[in-house]
Each structure stands twice: as structure tokens, then as C-alpha cells.
Amino acid sequence: MKLKYASIAALLAAALASPTALAQKTIKIGNINPYSGPASAYGSIGKSISAYWKMVNDQGGVNGRKVELISYDDGYSPPKTVEMARRLVEQDQVLLVFQSLGTPPNSAIHKYMNAKKVPQLFVATGATKWNDPKHFPWTMGWQPNYQTEGRIYAEHILKNNPKAKIGILYQNDDYGKDYLKGFRDGLGAKASSMIVKEVSYEVTDPTVDSQMVQLQASGADTFFNITTPKFAAQAIRKAYDSGWKPTHYLNNVSVSIASVLKPAGLEKSIGLISTAYLKDPNDPQWKNDPAVKEWQAFVDKYLPGANLPPAFTSYGMAVSQTLHQVLKQCGNDLSRANVMKQAANLKNFRPELLLPGIRINTSGGDFAPIESEQLARFDGEKWERFGPIIGK
Amino acid sequence: MSRRQIIVIAVVLLAACALPFVVSNYRTFQFTLALVYAIALLGLNMLTGYNGQISLGHGAFYAIGAYTTAILMDQYGVPYWATIPVAAAVCLVAGFLFGLPALRLEGLYLALATFALAVSLPALLKYHHLEHWTGGVQGIVILKPDPPFDLPINADQWLYFFTLAVTLLMFVLAWNILRGRMGRAMVAIRDQHVAAEAMGVHTAMVKSMTFGVSAMYTGVAGALGAIAIQFVAPDSFNIFVSIVFLVGIVIGGIASISGAIYGALFIQFVPNIADAISKAAPWAIFGIFLLGFVYLSPMGVAGAVRMAVVRLTRKAQNQAAKP
Amino acid sequence: MDEFLRQVLAGLATGGIYASLALALVMIYQATHLVNFAQGELAMFATYFAWSLIDAGVPYWPAFLLTVAFAFVLGVLIERVIIRPVENAPVLAVVVVFIALLVILNSVAGWIYSYTIKTFPSPFPEEPIFGKYITSHEGGAIGVTMVVLLLLYLFFRFTPLGLAMRAAAQNPDSARLVGIRVGWMLALGWGLAAAVGGVAGMMVAPIVFLDPNMMGGVLLYAFAAALVGGIDNPAGAVFGGFLVGVLENLLGAFVIGNELKLAVALVLIIGVLVVKPSGFFGKVLVTRV
């Protein structure tokens, strides 16, 4: 009897004596992703991230510690995101929340995360508001923001075709409107005279054919296409089939060859202009690129048969590699404050899936990791990059 | 009300009051949301369960209540507790105004009309001419209220008690309405429309008023929900919200006040359970839960509870009657 | 004028999509007096089955026929296994069963096939026959819907089985008394509706691309179309589909803009229903007291 109590006491003492050691054996990361609901296509990103950290654990973890990724579904519904964020922070006691997806979901937890002083790192949205270290020191984006991209297209049009008549198709939500704002800002005073037609669509619309007819009828000779993959494919195909051949700018969100251009028809996509910051794994020019080969090995081993869109798995890998770097830089100080400090201390870091010449830089006043992209034109087979790397 | 019922209610109330001090803040937050859904479901149940008017669009009234609160708090600095009666009034009027032309529609046609309402509302909220008030696609962020009078509880707990108080008020009000003339008229219209009219029930008035009151309840729920989540955006209020409400009242028990509570607990907690069971197809698991509940008890959890109580009392009576 | 014509044609094309699903909805209603909210997902699921066959190398028309058969069997199974237990439950409980079916089918399709869009082949030639304004497929799809409509009309009107099914739906008790196996008639109705839905899905997928949420947005339109045409009238449903498609396009392009076109279209439809509660071509029901 006494021995039993003694041993229990000893175990308890051992457990209590080294709380920090025990607690820091695993690093807990939280993630919120839409595995269901209207945005369930993006659930693939959550799956890719989970697979990546499994690979990291198989390779020994980070600085000898295993990483536990806890991912919850919010169905792209902000109330659910709030609930899941609270669960991650208050119940699961995660170190940080990583790659939460979507602007409304992230907006819903923005204040909460900063009030609780929990890092909201590398959010999966291109909205501009995540780069605000003065008011929201615990939130940081990752991908080049939508407004910057819109501006790049606007500047390209102003330079190459100042008399252009522009038609715009945009998704009627935060993402679409953010692109629109950047584009209009880039055109400046000439916006109202150059934009001859601006039409929106809802995610619940079956097709955008009617909108395309409106755009073609407006006489526009330049087309800015702000759509997500399914609708982008429809729009590209409809434009071609209707005999409308504008200078066609496609947003980066739908730049994937496998998910958008192939369904639309590769011949129908010739001449499309977009920006890129990641290598498209299906682009033949990267066939022998070591980073793409590494990605292929990762997908083959950790996502076999899952058939996830390459655009999402490569994105998931690159952003996870960035967090990996941050955690490595933290060393043995795994406090939330240090995580944030190291996230704001990335110097010329390159996940190799990024296009050559693009690097990640952050600082106390700069919470935008990737700020450069390059214009590219689709030639029927690959995205041919042209021009300089724009941005920092 | 029988003595047993009063005891049960007292025990439940006591447990509800003790809850925030026993569980974590996160769980308190979840239960606050469950209370919010209970009010919404009670509203829908009054319309669909007791009055037989099917509504696939109560998410719209939930949204109107939520936005009323958000706009008042964000743009006019109105304190949170004062927005609740305003949201209630706005939705009462909105529901009544919708109920009037809907009088001509029955069954499927009413379902379509309410469906249309639910689908149109987010579009209206995003409409660029109204963006100035609604915040457009970006939505509106509101601040969480602090406990008043420096009470020694935190904001989550205070919000829970505030919501609980409103819930109690709404439930008592509903119980009174349903027990009285209005309630009997509602049920009469549901069961025998023509006979009720022949007996002198002013069906048009009753049906429209029921719509209004039902909308008011759901609007109050929306207002409380907005305060709890501290964020409103058009995409939070899509058609799925209305469908989940309908599911809630069926699972909880149609035409039952306690059903609203069971239904609310179901729609708040079962999706999380489904998510825990399967990350790959969480809604498939949720669907299976739905099927299971409906098969086991088509009259909802409240119906099952009722039958269980009857069976137990009968057993006790039989035991007592044995010589 | 040119844009007007093009919008009308585009509206007819999308209207064809709504019409085909509305037809399936009316079919189920005629057989069971219930509106099956899971009809769109059933159609989507059948289309994925077709896609798997074609992906495995089966040529188009054999895959088409196999899918129609698969959809039929699936519909019958669902009626027997899932709907039968709640036969006598309150209507709302049955609606919840439909909703459960909807989420299960959608979720399982997403799990098996992922959410990337897939192309679905069209049996019609690539080159536009009707000019640049409407593709051959869109025109062909409308044609297929009309053929299905005609076949259904002939089936229900002129065959004994069709008559038995109509009897079972209208008056189950009397039908039983004359020896009709009402249970199997219901199952048959489900099978037929699922088959019609499968055809609809295979016609729709080449236009909108195949993904699990393909039919989600279409369901509301199909529902409105079915009601405005008369919920018990298949031809009315098809008419309703075209009406909704064209109306929506014209409203969006010329009247109210794309943001509110759905809301306004629905308001108009409900206005019609308030004035003419049975829709354009529905039978007016008189209840005897």
C-alpha cells in the first residue's frame, strides 16, 4: 500500500518538477480551415499543411521537438472561426495559430488573437489589413496582397495601352473587392474613364456566362478577371468561344495550370497575363527543378492518392517551410513573444518553391513576408515570365 | 404546471447558473451560443411547429437582428443591452410585414418565399449602395461588453448570465402566449384551417402576428449572437443558417418549448463531435447523426423524453396499483 | 439589341440547366408529393459516377446509359432504405431526412473526388452550330431535356405502369384497394426522378464544370422554376426553368445589376405565385370542407 502511494507521489513529483521540459517536448500549432461549406475546396491547404508537419516529425522534428498540428473546420463561417480559435487558444493551449483561411474568418478573430497575445501567423488570405504591426502586433500575412497585385496590372495597362477600355469581372466578396480597390487605385484618376464595365458574381451562381456577355457587349478590349478557379475556367472558355479576344489579365488566385487552364482549355488560355510568386509544379519549365522534385517526393510519400490540386500543395509546403524557419530561429525559447519576434526577423529567407529572385523579408515595421511578384504570360504550355521582379 | 415540472425547471436553472463557474471560459462561450440558438429555435418553432407555417428563411431575421445590434453599437454608440429591444422591435415589424403577403402562400410556396428571403438577404447586405451602413463584405466588428458595476466575474461569464436572463424572459413570454388564446388559435389554424376560420378565429391576423413574433424571437437571438461573436459579415448568414434552424427544431421536437433547448444543444455541439470523428467528411457524419435522431424519434428529443416520462409514470402507477 | 438577344440566348442556356433539375423535382413530387432537396446532390453524385467510368476508359454513350441505370437503382435504394422508415413521420421530419441526404452526398463526393473542378465531356460537337452565341452543347442539352420531357409524358400518360404510379401518388389507399403495390410505385418514382436527375447532371457538367458544389446554386432556381410552372406539371417545370434563366439574365444586365438580380427575380416569381398560387400551368386544387 505504502509503496503504491510512494510511487504515485514520485511520478507526480517528477511530472511537476519539470513542467517546462514536458510542455516543451511538443510544439502545438493551431490551424483553422474550411473543410466543409462553400469554400471546402481550400480544405486541401489544411490537408497539405498537416502532411508537411507529419514529414517534419518523421525527420526528427524542429530542434528535436515534435510538432503537433491541430486543425479545426470552420466551414468558412466567421462565428465558427471564433469558436474554433477560442478552442485552440483556451482549451488546446496552442503556441500559435497558423494559416487560418479567409478574410471574414480572420477578421472575426483579429481582435481576439491580439487581445490574447497569441500569434496569428501567415494567414491564408491576401487582404492588405494583415500588415499592420502598430495596431495588430500579433497578426501577420504571408502571400503578396491582392491590392498590390491589382496595382501591378493597372500599371502595366497604363504603360502598354493607356487608351484601353477595361472590363472587370469580380467575385462579390472581400477578396474580389480587395483586388478591385488595388486595381482602381493603380489607375488613379483615369480609373473612371478607362473602366467601361464592372460586373460581379456570387459564389452560388452556376455560371458567369451572363456576366461575360455583358462585358463583351460593353466594347471592352481589356479584361481584368478576378475569379476563383471554377469561374475563371468558365470565363476563359466563354471569352474564347464567344470570339472575344481582349487583353486578358487573370488574378493570381486562379493561375494554376492543372486547376484552371487545363479545364478551360490550354489553347483557349494563350495570351493570359498574370503574376506569379510560386513555381507551378505542372509548368514544364520546372520539370527538373530540385524544389519541384522535392515537392513531388513530399506529395508522393505523404499525400498518396489524395489528388489534391498542385497549386494548394505547393502553397501549403512553401508557407509551412516559412513557419519551420521561424520555429528553428526560436531555438529553445518557445514563448509566443519570441515566436512573433522571430517571425518579424526573417531575412532573405527562400522556400525554394518561390520563383527565382523572390525572397521573404520581415521586420518590426514590415509584416508582409512576400512583397514581390513577376508578370507572366501563358503561351499554351507554360507561364513565361517577363519583365522585372516587381516589389521589394 | 405540475409540481414535478416545477422541480425539474428549478434544478435545470440552478445548474445553468452554476455552469460558468464550473467550466472554462471557452465552454461558457459555447453555452452562451447554445442559449442564443435556443431563442432562435423557439421563435421558429412557434411559427412552424405551433402554427404550421413552414419557414426556410429564419436566418434572414437572425441576420437582421444581428446587423441592427452591430450598426447601433458601431455607428451610434448605443450600449449593447439597449440594442436588444430595438432589434426585437425591428424584427417584429419585419416579420409581420413579411407575413402579410405570405398569407396567400401555403406549404411549398411559403417555403419558397422564405427560402428566397434567406437567399436575398446576404445580397442586400453586400449591396454597394447600402455599404455605408452595413459595412459591405468586410462586415462590422463590435466590442465585447464588460461586466457592469465591477462584478467579480469576467466578460464571458457576464455575457452568459445576460443571455441566460434574456432567454428566461423569452421562454416565459412564449409559454404565456402559447398557453393562452393566441396559442390555441395558432394550433387551431395549423390543424384545421377552415374550421378555425369558421369558428371565428381571425386567421389572417393570427398568422401575421405569429410571423412577427417568431421573427422577433429570432431577431433577439441574432442580436445576442452578434454580441457574443463580436463580428457580423454577410457571409455568416447564408441559407445554411436557416436550414440548420429547421433541422434544430425537428431534432429538438416540433411544437415543444423544451424542444428548443434540445435542438439548440444539438446544433451547437454535434457538428464539433462530427468534426472530431472525421476530418475528411465531417458533414457526412453530421448527416448520419441527423438520420439516427430522426429514425429513433421522429417527434424529436422532446417527444422521446415525453414518451419516456409517460412510460416511467405508467410503470410506477402499475407498481403502486399491484396488490 | 445585340446584347439583348445574346442575354436571352444565354438565359435559355442556363435556363436549360434549371429546367432539367426542375423536371427531376417535379417527378419526385408527382410520385411522392414531397420536394426532395437532395435531388441536386443525387444528380451530382450520378455525374461523378459517369466521370469515373469515362476516366476509366468507357466511351461516352455506354457510360451515359450505365449512369442512368446506376442513378435509377440508387434512387430506388434510397427510397427503400432511407425514406421508408420515416414514411409515417411528420412532413418536417422527412424534410430533415432529405437535408441529411444532401449533406451526406455532398460530403462523400468531396471526400472521394476532392473539390478540384473536373471537365466532363460533351457528346455534342465542339464547333458551335448555332453561331457564336450558344454552344452546340448548350443547344443539345436543351434538346435532351425536351426529349426526356416527351418520354416522361408518354410514359405517364399512355403506359399502365405510369398510370399506376400516378394513382399511387394521388390516392394511395384507393390504389392499394385495386391491387397496386404502392410501396414499389414510390420506389419506382424515386428511381425515375434520380435517373432524370442523372441526365440533368451529365448535361450540366460540361457547361459549369464538375465539382461537388455544382448543383448547390442550381437547386434554388430549379425549385422556383418548378413552382412557377406548376409543381405537378413537368412541362410547366421546363417552361419555368427557361423563364427563370432568361428573367435573371435580363434583370442582371439591364435592370438591377448583378448583385440583386437573384433577389429581384425571386420577388417577381413570388409575386406571380401570390396572384396565381398554382403557378402558370398547375392544377388549381380545391379543398372540400
Map B244-302 to HEC letters.
HHHHHHHHHCCCCHHHHHHHHHHHHHHHHHHHHHCCCCHHHHHHHHHHHHHHHCCCHHH
What value does the mean pLDDT of chain A take? 89
ipTM of the complex: 0.87
Contacts of C220 in chain B (CB under 8 A): 115-116, 119, 239
Q: Who among B137, B231, B236 is closest to A173 (CB)?
A: B137
Cβ A176 vs Cβ A168: under 8 Å: no
The string of DSSP codes covering A118-176 is --EES-B---GGG--TTT-TTB---SPPHHHHHHHHHHHHHHH-TT--EEEEEESSHHH
Answer yes or no: is pLDDT of A21 > 60.
no
* Packing angle, helices C182-208 and C136-158, rounded to 10: 170
Segment A176-183 mean pLDDT: 93
Q: Who among C17, C114, C209 is closest to A263 (CB)?
A: C209
Residues A104, B236: C-beta atoms closer than 8 Å: yes
Segment B18-47 mean pLDDT: 93
Contacts of B238 in chain A (CB under 8 A): 38
Q: Chain B neighbours among A 93-152 (CB < 8 Å)? A: 103-104, 107-108, 110-112
State the amino acid at position B164 in one-letter form: L
B263/chain C closest Cα distance in angstroms: 13
Cβ A29 vs Cβ A330: under 8 Å: no
Answer yes or no: is pLDDT of C254 > 70.
yes
Answer yes or no: is pLDDT of A19 > 90.
no
Contacts of C10 in chain A (CB under 8 A): 209-210, 213
Nearest CA in chain A to C119: A263
CB-CB neighbours of B56 under 10 Å: 25
Segment C120-126 mean pLDDT: 85
CA-based R_g, chain B, Å = 20
List chains adjacent to chain C, taking adjacency as at least 3 C-beta pairs closer than 8 Å: A, B
Answer yes or no: is pLDDT of A23 > 60.
no
pLDDT band, very low/low/confident/very high, at A17 (cuts 50, 70, 90): very low
Closest CA to A96 of A347, A338, A350: A338
A208/chain C closest Cα distance in angstroms: 9
Least confident of A267-271, B229-233, C166-170: C166-170
Segment B232-249 mean pLDDT: 90
Q: Is C220 an 8 Å CB contact of chain B?
A: yes
Contacts of B231 in chain A (CB under 8 A): 78-79, 82, 107-108
pLDDT band, very low/low/confident/very high, at A344 (cuts 50, 70, 90): very high
Least confident of A12-26, B126-140, C122-136: A12-26
pLDDT band, very low/low/confident/very high, at C288 (cuts 50, 70, 90): low
**CA C62 – CA A321 distance, rounded (Å):** 47
**CA C9 – CA B177 distance, rounded (Å):** 54
Answer yes or no: is pLDDT of A13 > 80.
no
Task: Enter the C-alpha cell of residue B232.
Answer: 457580423
What pLDDT score does C287 carry?
Answer: 60
pLDDT band, very low/low/confident/very high, at A27 (cuts 50, 70, 90): very high
**CA A95 – CA A16 distance, rounded (Å):** 20
Answer yes or no: is pLDDT of A15 > 60.
no
Contacts of C96 in chain B (CB under 8 A): 246-247, 250-251, 290, 294
Collapsing DSSP to helix, strand or coil, A270 comes out as: coil
B73/chain A closest Cα distance in angstroms: 16
Segment A217-222 mean pLDDT: 92
Segment B182-192 mean pLDDT: 89
Residues A209, C221: C-beta atoms closer than 8 Å: no
pLDDT band, very low/low/confident/very high, at A14 (cuts 50, 70, 90): very low
Cα dihedral A250, A252, A257, A262 sign = negative
Task: Enter the C-alpha cell of residue C254.
Answer: 439591364
Q: Who among C35, C97, C262 is closest to B108 (CB)?
A: C35
Answer yes or no: is pLDDT of A391 > 90.
no
Q: Who among B138, B225, B240 is closest to A107 (CB)?
A: B138
Contacts of A262 in chain C (CB under 8 A): 119
Contacts of C224 in chain B (CB under 8 A): 112, 116
Residues B231, A90: C-beta atoms closer than 8 Å: no
Residues B123, C101: C-beta atoms closer than 8 Å: no
Query: Which one is predicted more confidently, B281 or C120?
Result: C120
Contacts of A258 in chain C (CB under 8 A): 116
Segment A292-316 mean pLDDT: 90
What pLDDT score does B275 carry?
Answer: 84
Segment C93-120 mean pLDDT: 89
What pLDDT score does B161 carry?
Answer: 92
What pLDDT score does A267 carry?
Answer: 93
Q: Chain B neighbours among A 57-96 (CB < 8 Å)? A: 71-73, 76-79, 82-83, 86-87, 90-91
Segment A333-358 mean pLDDT: 92
Answer yes or no: is pLDDT of A1 > 60.
no
Nearest CA in chain C to B198: C289
Answer yes or no: is pLDDT of B299 > 50.
yes
Q: Who among A41, A206, A263 is closest to C217 (CB)?
A: A206
Mutation choice for A interface testing from C116, C122, C244 by most A CBs within 10 A: C116
Q: Taking an 8 Å Cβ-Cβ cutoff, which residues of chain A contact chain C?
A: 36, 38, 40-41, 43-44, 172, 199-202, 204-207, 209-211, 213-214, 216-217, 229-230, 233-234, 241-243, 258-259, 262-263, 306-309
Q: Who among A79, A103, A111 is closest to B141 (CB)?
A: A111
Farthest CA pair distance, chain C: 60
- DSSP-derived secondary structure letter, A37: S
Q: Is C107 an 8 Å CB contact of chain B?
A: yes
- pTM as predicted: 0.89
What pLDDT score does A283 carry?
Answer: 86
Q: Chain A neighbours among C 248-287 (CB < 8 Å)? A: 248-249, 252-253, 258-259, 262
Which parts of B10-143 are beta strand (E)? 140-141
Q: How many Cα neighbours within 13 Å face the side chain of C59?
A: 2
pLDDT band, very low/low/confident/very high, at A97 (cuts 50, 70, 90): very high
What value does the mean pLDDT of chain B take? 89
Q: Who among B124, B250, B282 is closest to C93 (CB)?
A: B250
Contacts of A77 in chain B (CB under 8 A): 235-236, 240
* Start-to-end CA span in chain C (Å): 53
Closest CA to A231 of A192, A204, A267, A197: A204
pLDDT digits (tens, 9 = 90+) for B143-164: 888 777 777 888 888 999 999 9
Mutation choice for C interface testing from B54, B108, B117, B239 by most C CBs within 10 A: B108
Answer yes or no: is pLDDT of A12 > 60.
no
pLDDT band, very low/low/confident/very high, at C275 (cuts 50, 70, 90): confident
Cβ C189 vs Cβ C181: under 8 Å: no
pLDDT band, very low/low/confident/very high, at C289 (cuts 50, 70, 90): low
Answer yes or no: is pLDDT of A383 > 60.
yes
What pLDDT score does C114 carry?
Answer: 81
Answer yes or no: is pLDDT of A20 > 60.
no
Nearest CA in chain B to A50: B279
